[in-house]
Amino acid sequence: MSSERERFDAFYGRKWSRHGGFWADYYPPDQRVYAAAVYGRRNDVIVQEAGSRTGAVLDLGCGVGDLSYLLAKSADRVVASDISSENVRRASGNLAQADIGAAVVQSEGEHLPFPDRTFDLVVVADVIEHVASIAATLEEVQRVLRPGGRMICATPVRATLQGWRLADWVTRKLARPLSSPPLEWRNPDVFESFLSPRELRSAIVRAGLRPIRFRRVCFYPAPETPGVFGAVMARVYQRSHGHGFERTAARVMRVFAMIERWGFLNQKQLWVAEK
């Protein structure tokens, strides 16, 4: 596990080297559509599913603390954990600055440092695809949940994500045939193991949890980067010098919201499961 920690520390050290604050503030103004459609929308759905009274909450794979900050508004207690010491350090600072009294600890999902039956809710947001053992992580989630407690798990849908990744690569290749990078199905810097909804449901059941709700959320026409569409939005922003861009972005988001209702093009699967 030490090698996994080192790899994630190196990745997030590079990612956050020129950024302070929450992930929501990481993207520049011309990428607000991407940030809102993928991460903002995901967070909104998770908070909605969590409800108004959540008791003791574990934000497993907390990143720099965005969801912990949002969940703290309805929780009696929030604990944030992450494998990366870089994320733990930044999440601690962000939450303290926001006056959120959350405990932030470094741990792997496969070995949670908490007693049995500690939490009423465990949130696993865009994390399960990055753990070394999905089965062991879900078993640990089941162990630390109280009877009747819930897990909310969000992760990309493998086929949809790969479809958008291929479409984005083909578009780049057609636009610049000599300078397009090779097609990569996974990020080589971090461990990734994407699942189909059927595979994740089976893993949840094997861990001793009962799935009670499934949704497909977050429409954005690119893989888990701004992609070609993000480049188009950046060009629109540059040409307008920022003037009127918010109106353009709002119109795009309204279209995305309409498409999201169809479901089948959405990037992420969201499961709510009960112990």
What is the pLDDT averaged over residues 217-241? Answer: 86
* CA distance linking residue 258 with residue 219, whole number of Å: 9
More confident of the two residues 53 and 92: 92
8 Å CB contact between 236 and 248: yes
Residue pLDDT, tens place only, 8-25: 888 787 888 778 888 888
Q: Which residues pair with 153 in a beta bridge?
A: 124, 271
Whole-angstrom CA distances from 182 to 39, 101, 121, 156, 256 are: 26, 45, 41, 22, 28
Q: Where are the beta strands (DSSP E) in 142-197?
A: 145-156
- What is the chain's mean pLDDT, rounded? 90
Q: Answer yes or no: pTM beyond 0.75.
A: yes
Backbone φ, ψ for residue 81 (5° rounding): -135, 150
pLDDT-derived band at 110 (thresholds 50, 70, 90) equals: very high
Does 3.40.50.150 match the CATH number of domain 2-274? yes
pLDDT at residue 174, rounded to an integer: 80
* CA distance linking residue 215 with residue 210, whole number of Å: 15
Give 165's Cβ-side CA count (13 Å radius). Answer: 17
